[in-house]
Structure 1
């Protein structure tokens, strides 16, 4: 009978004694990596360039066109509104572009299924949403500030020497920086809505309704019993709040409406609450 042979011990590679050592450097991820990832996404898709391009054309086109019309008869330019008021109309119409881009920044990933790859690379869902929000806000604010600034400079130049009053420093700041912050927050609110609904068409439709719905509803409230509700809907609708940045800084748009910087604080509070709700939903939902 043959005796069983004891297997010879095999030499263990030195690198395997304490576990496998990857030749690729392993770096602990942080918020900066998420920001870099979201910046690459938002600048590398065609929808961003097309949407922002149309947005700039609308803001500049309507602003400059109204500026030219007003410059032809500056004596008829009356009221307490800021001389920069032509920029309001372009921003109001262009808000549809920012709403669309904000929704697509998040909802499009759910539509294509790429959100699974994103969450695998960065399991912290709150970090992903915060990175998307930060990148989008900076892009929206920068583009709006440049567009509104060009319109403001052009309109001021058109009215120069015509006898019309020139904008004050506060009007300059509110008509450029202030309104750019408001528009960026409106787009950010759309981004949060896209995260909550995960459906591009539905989120865009709801946000357009939020922008235009209250003003349209208020216009058809003829009953005297609904007068107070009509006034609230009118004063606190987004178009009316947006016009506050171009109205007389010494008073509100209406008798009881927001004034000064109130619209900015209102939309900031609404966006913060919506963002917190979206973060809570992200932790409970499956991707």
Structure 2
């Protein structure tokens, strides 16, 4: 009796997950999405963003509506309907920083780059997840804050409609600005690779340097203040600015976007050349 061994050919489908096969950008994006939401600070940060952005807007409108309707008011109601977004900036900065530095702190970045050696794809996926979630959160927070705060303004006869000049732009702009600010913080995080250092740099630049720059003398001081990231970008988040001397909303946002892009390019170059 003769036994004949039969060979079996296994055909691997390149469209499926094959060990050692090169993964596409979709896999990288999904991996970054999972990592982003499995960090315990992420849900809490978004909760804080909503509480600060929407909650403070409603609170300020509730306490200021009567004054805004009086003859003593020297501010427009349009300056208050997204008031809380100036504090929601803090959580966007925190999220952007932690999206990068948390991996360096735990050493997870080495596993990430081992799984996906294409560093450009990793950085692009991180940026897409961060910017996308912050944009949606920013728009939702701004709309909820507007609806809640405007209810108190309506009771005093000074409410705004979504179709009023600058209102819809400020809703969209809130999402765009928070997304850009998160990317700005992430780029700083890539450069310094340390959470506390990155947070200190970005928070100081936006909240301290941005305000202190108005004390600089002359035309150069005026333009320095106008062009700083926080001052240039934040104008798009409010229907009526508290400071009419700043750049026009979309002009300022264009300047801010260019600054974010430039810093991301520098961060990308550093990310490509440095060891994890």
Pairwise TM-score range, normalised by the shorter structure: 0.7 to 0.9
Q: Which blocks of at least 5 consecutive residues in structure 1 are unaligned?
A: 1-10
1:188 aligns with 2:183: yes
* Aligned position for 1:235: 226
Q: 1:67 and 1:193 mapped to 2: Cα distance?
A: 35
* Aligned position for 2:238: 246
Structure 1 residue 13, shift from structure 2 partner: 8.4
1:19-38 equivalent positions in 2, closer than 5 A? 26=18, 28-38=22-32
Q: 1:137 and 1:70 mapped to 2: Cα distance?
A: 33
* Aligned position for 2:256: 267
Structure 1 residue 230, shift from structure 2 partner: 3.1
> Is the CA contact 2:53–2:141 (under 8 Å) kept in the aligned structure 1?
yes
1:191-202 equivalent positions in 2, closer than 5 A? 191-202=186-197
Instruction: Specify the SS of the correspondent of 1:73.
Output: helix
1:127 aligns with 2:121: yes
1:139 alignment partner, one of 118, 133, 141: 133
Structure 1 residue 73, shift from structure 2 partner: 3.2
> Is the CA contact 2:123–2:268 (under 8 Å) kept in the aligned structure 1?
yes
1:19-168 equivalent positions in 2, closer than 5 A? 26=18, 28-76=22-70, 78=73, 81=76, 83=78, 85-88=80-83, 90-164=84-158, 166-167=160-161, 168=163
Structure 1 residue 82, shift from structure 2 partner: 5.6
2:266 alignment partner, one of 263, 277, 280: 277
TM-score of the pair, normalised by structure 1? 0.82
Q: 1:160 and 1:51 mapped to 2: Cα distance?
A: 31
Larger radius of gyration: 1
RMSD: 2.7
Q: 2:213 and 2:267 mapped to 1: Cα distance?
A: 30
- Render the CA deviation track for 1:115-169: whole Å, top value 9, x for unaligned: 0100011000010010000001111111111111001111222222523252444
Q: 2:77 and 2:251 mapped to 1: Cα distance?
A: 17
Q: 1:13 and 1:267 mapped to 2: Cα distance?
A: 67
Q: 2:174 and 2:150 mapped to 1: Cα distance?
A: 17
Q: Which blocks of at least 5 consecutive residues in structure 2 are unaligned?
A: none
* Aligned position for 2:247: 258
> Is the CA contact 2:78–2:240 (under 8 Å) kept in the aligned structure 1?
no
1:179 aligns with 2:171: no
Higher alpha-carbon deviation: 34-43 or 212-221: 212-221
Q: 1:270 and 1:187 mapped to 2: Cα distance?
A: 13
Instruction: Specify the SS of the correspondent of 2:78.
Output: coil
Q: How many residues align?
A: 265
